[in-house]
Amino acid sequence: MTRESRTEKNQLFDAIIIGAGPAGLMAAIASHQPGRKICILEKMPLPALKLKISGKGRCNITNAAERRDFLSHFGPNSRFLKPAFANFFNTDLISFFESLGIRFKLERGGRWFPQSDDAHEIVRALFGHIRNLGITLQTHSAVADILPLPDGELQVTVSDSSRKTGVPETKILIGKRVVL
């Protein structure tokens, strides 16, 4: 099958993100560049379910600790986190959400919460931003397989259970990159 016929039949994305939890949503946002086609796949009927109930529904978004203190809680595994936290840490996360219109308050123990005490506000801000960026979000989409293709792209087989017939539909997506 040629690349042309493969991409006519199947959807081609620059990046396919598997999972619409906080990490997947932020990965999709971080992957965005004008002209890039990005897709988030979520097996559940609604994305970010755990985020909506985090912090007893208030969403303790991050901690105010300094990087060194924060990393000390991870023991020897903290080495793995250092590069990521050097590029994007707690103050960056607060600034990102403030740019989306959310205001925060700092509570005892150095915990940051939205002023509204409503985790749904965080979720709505993320989805609004994803929608504004033109990122595709597909729910009811369980990944069944990921196969490398000869040209370096990846074939992602998805079982879409959103059909009213109750019979899942199998779809093939092609991605230049896949983030798990």
Determine contact, residues 137/40, Cβ cutoff 8 Å.
yes
Task: Assign 157 to helix, strand or coil.
Answer: strand
Structure-block tokens of residue 176 = 């230049």
20-27 LR contacts (CB < 8 Å, sep 24+): 20/44, 20/47, 20/48, 20/137, 20/139, 21/47, 21/48, 21/50, 21/51, 22/48, 22/51, 22/126, 24/179, 25/126, 25/130, 27/179
- pLDDT, one tens digit per residue, over 76-125 is 889 999 999 999 999 999 999 999 999 999 999 999 999 999 999 999 99
Average pLDDT, consecutive stretches of 10 residues, N- to C-terminus, the chain (180 residues): 48 97 96 97 94 93 94 89 93 98 96 97 96 96 97 96 80 96
Burial class (CB in 10 A: 0-12, 13-18, 19+), 17: buried
Whole-structure pTM value: 0.88
